[in-house]
Amino acid sequence: MEERNFICICCPMGCSLTVVMKGEEVVEVAGNTCKRGDIYARNEVINPMRMVTSTVKVIGGRENVVSVKTKEDIPKGKIFECVRALKDVKVNAPVYMGDTIMKNVANTGVDIVATKNVECKEA
């Protein structure tokens, strides 16, 4: 039996949750004061997912960088692989919101898309 602790983020209450695991299986969730806490804890131990937001360099744009995001949430364990993959990426201006910057980042099956418009630098 393994115990893992979380703070629930479903509401400002911030309950301290304890999840009792037997191997990959959740045996018990304790410390939650509502149903949502139970669901959050179960997702959080089995497969926590996060959206990753960062920036990549832009060549010839009005700005030096453009903000980007993973189009969907990716597994929490893949976050650093994802930001490392973006480290040396450079894109040419113009870049528009929703443009795909990188396909299948860190083998997650999720694309990186721009979240901002960066026009070309005026000559």
Partner 1 sequence: MKEYDIVIIGGGPAGLAAAVSAKKNGIKNILILERDKELGGILNQCIHNGFGLHTFKEELTGPEYAEKFIQQVKEGKIEYKRNTMVTDISPKKVVTAMNHEEGLFEIQAKAVVLAMGCRERARGALNIPGYRPAGIFSAGTAQRFVNMEGYLPGREVVILGSGDIGLIMARRMTFEGAKVKVVAELMPYSGGLKRNIVQCLDDYGIPLKLRHTVVDIKGKKRLEGVVLAEVDERGKPISGTEEFYSCDTLLLSVGLIPENELSMAMGVEINPVTMGPEVNEILETSMEGVFACGNVLHVHDLVDFVSQEAATAGKNAALYVKMGNTRKRKGKKILLNAKEGIRYTVPGAIHVENMDENLMVRFRVDNVYKNCYINMYLNDERVMHKKCLVLTPGEMEEIKLIKEDLLSYPNLKTITLKIEEA
- Binding segment for partner 1 (CB under 8 A), chosen from 24-32, 51-59, 100-108, is 51-59
Peptide bond into 48 cis (omega under 30): no
Pick between residue 6 and residue 101 the one whose CB is nearest to partner 1. Answer: 6
Residue 111 binding partner 1, by CB under 8 A: no
Residue 53 binding partner 1, by CB under 8 A: yes
Residue 55 binding partner 1, by CB under 8 A: yes
Closest C-alpha to 111, from 79, 71, 73, 81: 71
Which residues, other chains included, contact 40 with Cβ-Cβ below 8 Å and sequence gap of 6+? 6, 8, 9, 10, 17, 32
Residue 12 binding partner 1, by CB under 8 A: yes
Sign of the CA dihedral running 109, 79, 4, 37: negative
> Shortest distance, CB of residue 39 to partner 1, whole angstroms?
15
Residue 57 binding partner 1, by CB under 8 A: yes
Residue 55 phi/psi, 5-degree rounding, is -135, 155
Residues that bind partner 1 (CB under 8 A): 6-7, 9, 11-14, 33, 50-55, 57, 63-65, 67, 69, 76, 79, 83, 87, 97, 115-117
